[in-house]
């Protein structure tokens, strides 16, 4: 079944199944994959594209994709490339040519942006250098972010791959980890998964923790007096093995947290919090509270939109039934005639549309 991304680019097959089977597919424009070195982040992205249905372009900054070469995977080596060469590769990607694009790693992309700033006469004329610290790094993050956002309209999903790095307090590591993508992906990612070593020798596949997710499913009320139920699509931990196939299962069948298993509800971040100092814990809790508040706001906005759509549908159903009777046709025929007029029905335009239909009849 053909699928279109938000930019209107058509693909032969959706990369991700529709939420709860509703629609054509789930739009995940920006997908973060985090974890220690050699944990399998690139492999996870490679396994997400189904041979015969999907194609992936790997923008490889460190020659890490050579072992993942497959008929449906194209590898573009960007190791040691200049900023202009990297942009030329990005600009040459044709919209719709690849169902997914992997940037491996985003830290390497930022390093290339910093090299551009260091070598650019334009930035030197502005007095921008490593000595200006904050402004210098902000510009590098902006340049890297622009590259990532230019890729989004060309594909279904951009995988942004990041290693994990230590969170420091003074000159001491706290024991807590963070992605080394300098918060660029935090602003863009719809989903971010954190791959962790699996301590169970019987399960060699990494454990997969949901770093964060903006995927929500709004379950309609059972009756007009009920409330919409907002269900987080992903649990704190994916059930082992946390493969792309298992990830797709969560999209197809969102479940309330009350129905999740103890394994899925486990959150390894609680274990790490015990190792932190009071100050570091306070900083992390503040960041988490902010992230949760933003996620809650997004959930409320989606719930409001779903409720408005449901109310508009209810009003149209009532109006269509009454108007169809007055025209001596079925509601289905009424809907077809409205479409032929090329106008959008709203409560405000309903009377005008009905007069047009009577004129046609």
Considering only residues 7 and 228, tell me which one the structure prediction assigns the higher pLDDT: 7
* pLDDT confidence band for 245 (50 / 70 / 90): very high
What is the full DSSP assignment across 39-78? SSHHHHHHHHSPTTT--EEEEESSS--GGG--TTEEEEE-
Put simply, whether the predicted model's pTM sits higher than 0.85 gets the answer no
Q: Which residue ranges make up each domain of the chain?
A: 3-276, 308-360
The tokens describing 101, both together, are 């694009």
Residue-wise burial string across 51-83, b where 16 or more C-beta atoms lie within 10 A, e elsewhere: eeebbbbbbbbeebbeebeeebbbbbebeebeb
The chain-wide mean pLDDT, for the chain, equals 83
The per-residue pLDDT for range 271-291, each reduced to its tens digit, is 445 444 555 556 556 666 766
Q: In the 8-state DSSP scheme, what is residue 183? A: T
**In angstroms, rounded to a whole number, what is the distance separating the alpha carbons of residues 100 and 114?**
26
* pLDDT confidence band for 199 (50 / 70 / 90): confident
* pLDDT confidence band for 198 (50 / 70 / 90): confident
Domain 3-276, CATH: 3.40.50
The tokens describing 92, both together, are 């040459």
**In angstroms, rounded to a whole number, what is the distance separating the alpha carbons of residues 8 and 46?**
25
Q: Minimum mean pLDDT among 34-43, 166-175, 247-256: which range?
A: 166-175
283 phi, psi to nearest 5 deg: -60, -45
The per-residue pLDDT for range 302-331, each reduced to its tens digit, is 777 777 777 777 888 888 888 888 888 888
The per-residue pLDDT for range 158-186, each reduced to its tens digit, is 999 998 877 777 777 767 777 777 667 77
Answer whether 104's CB lies under 8 Å from 60's CB: yes
């Amino acid at each position: 079944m053909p699928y279109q991304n938000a930019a209107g680019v058509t693909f032969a097959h959706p990369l991700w199944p529709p939420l709860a089977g509703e629609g054509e597919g789930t739009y995940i424009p920006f997908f973060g994959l985090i974890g220690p070195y050699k944990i399998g982040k690139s492999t996870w992205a490679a396994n997400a594209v189904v041979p015969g249905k999907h194609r992936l372009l790997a923008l490889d900054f460190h020659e890490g994709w050579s072992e993942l070469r497959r008929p449906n995977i194209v590898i573009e080596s960007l190791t040691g490339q200049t900023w202009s060469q990297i942009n030329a590769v990005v600009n040459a990607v044709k919209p719709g040519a690849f169902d997914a694009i992997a940037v491996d790693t985003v830290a390497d992309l930022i390093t290339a942006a910093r090299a551009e700033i260091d070598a650019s006469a334009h930035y030197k004329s502005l007095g921008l250098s490593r000595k200006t610290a904050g402004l210098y790094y902000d510009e590098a993050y902006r340049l890297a972010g622009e590259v990532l956002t230019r890729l989004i309209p060309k594909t279904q999903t951009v995988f942004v791959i990041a290693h994990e790095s230590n969170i420091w307090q003074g000159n001491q590591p706290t024991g807590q980890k963070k992605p080394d993508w300098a918060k660029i992906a935090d602003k863009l990612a719809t989903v971010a998964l954190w791959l962790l070593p699996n301590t169970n020798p019987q399960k060699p596949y990494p454990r997969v923790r949901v770093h964060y997710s903006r995927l929500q499913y709004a379950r309609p009320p059972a009756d007009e007096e009920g409330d919409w139920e907002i269900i987080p699509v992903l649990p704190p931990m994916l059930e082992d093995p946390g493969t792309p196939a298992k990830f797709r299962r969560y999209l197809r069948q969102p479940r309330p947290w009350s129905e999740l298993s103890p394994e899925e509800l486990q959150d390894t971040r609680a274990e790490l919090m015990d190792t932190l100092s009071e100050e570091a814990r306070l900083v992390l809790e503040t960041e988490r509270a902010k992230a949760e508040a933003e996620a809650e706001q997004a959930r409320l906005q989606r719930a409001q939109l779903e409720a408005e759509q449901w109310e508009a549908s209810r009003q149209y159903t009532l109006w269509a039934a009454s108007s169809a009777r007055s025209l001596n046709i079925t509601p289905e025929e009424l809907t077809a005639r409205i479409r032929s007029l090329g106008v959008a029905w709203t409560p405000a335009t309903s009377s005008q549309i009905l007069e047009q239909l009577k004129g046609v009849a």
